[in-house]
Structure 1
């Protein structure tokens, strides 16, 4: 039967504005970095995506190289949009990125004007779309002037192929300010920044977070669960088939006694709040007003639903934050 979205999908969803832009996102967005390539059944992907939309998740984040193989996440998502979600296109925020290795030769990666333009055209074809809502530079290019990369993003807006532009993995304040100024010269604001941010990786707190708040640029945090380290998954060992077992993004060497001590302490805090460790980790990322959305993955409908329950908990109190901070700064030995 044709898909019909839940009529109550916006009744309990929490939405935030990205900086000072008109871009609004759900507090939890769904990323297709993993689990949406050709190594996963399309029907499993469809079930996750449609359930997410029914639950008020209307932002789906991709990149040209997501898979495996590279490009397959966009192709699979495009097929599901075409077959199921096309009637709701005006409700949905779809983002993609360019910058990592995609095809042979010097223009298959990084941030030249040629690369950024060709990649977006390829992405739109795979996605079966006329435009994306957000187009990102996936990483800074040390050999291309930032003005050229940002001009390519602005050109996508001027051509109607993107509505907003963003940057990801730009971790210095200087790079970010340069991107803002270069885009301003093109008449296009920087609407969103996508950095890695979680309890175990807090580098953006050393200056970038405050700078983005001052610049009026929203933040969507990727890896809020630290590739599964901020979940219950590894507290009793390394499950077969897990990322650590496969050595993908996380390895067995990451599951140290220091890590386990810290993760178990956080688990106790989560339990006291009737949350899972993952839900606590998301509540912590979203505690800061500058963070528009937390970008999560999902390998099943159950995992998606469990993650979204993070929004049901009350905000972290100053006392909660003090306890969490004490655990994170204590000597784990």
Structure 2
């Protein structure tokens, strides 16, 4: 009886202490409330629609009233003739972006960090950041104007050189290079911000000690700078690998033409066409859910492997 009485006395004290802390931070919670409501309405409530992937959705019956179909639409997608080509295009574009686009911000950050003159460094930083704030609609429009076979600047130069004009945006062989180059141009400056912030945390005494030992610029890069940036590189690599099925919907959708459809049809564009254009909502939802589940498994596996190999992980 004594133990029970002690418990009944301690629990209310703990509870009141917890609510006292909550009340003391009420202004912070009130400040976070709009973000919480936004995520609740636009991120969690729409997850109710996942049920469509397992049902033969009918407008007149609604989501709950539509008959169950189980895994029918998932099997339909796996047996679809477009499955392998769509998956191949998605993985190819993502892999090329990862291969060439992932190290680009790191290289730019190292180059900017090596610039000693502060004014020159700020100018280059500003110039490299600007493309990030330009929408893909504007970027692709500029590409179409510059690379146009009729009035494009590049083809005008080719004609003056005695060469025939080329329809760059309509050539399947040039689609991947244009995608990767435009993606690097747009994101390299913004992506370098994280690396520049990490570079400022490096103790300058390490470089001073290296100078006293006679270390050169390359030696300091590989012995001090890159090892210090390893955790940052590891975290960003985990995010990149886990999102390998996201090839960049906005960019691909705007650059896609009938001539390049064989190499430009990715999961996101395929979902949009089957869902909104063809009205196959259950089928397109199943494809989107398939992609989300694979991405979830990828981030868990990559995080686990990274934690074992380099001791860098998200959790």
TM-score of Structure 1 vs Structure 2, range by shorter chain:
under 0.3
Higher relative contact order (CA 8 A, sep 6+): 2
Normalised by the length of structure 1, the TM-score is 0.24
Q: Which has the higher strand share?
A: 1
TM-score normalized with structure 2 length: 0.25
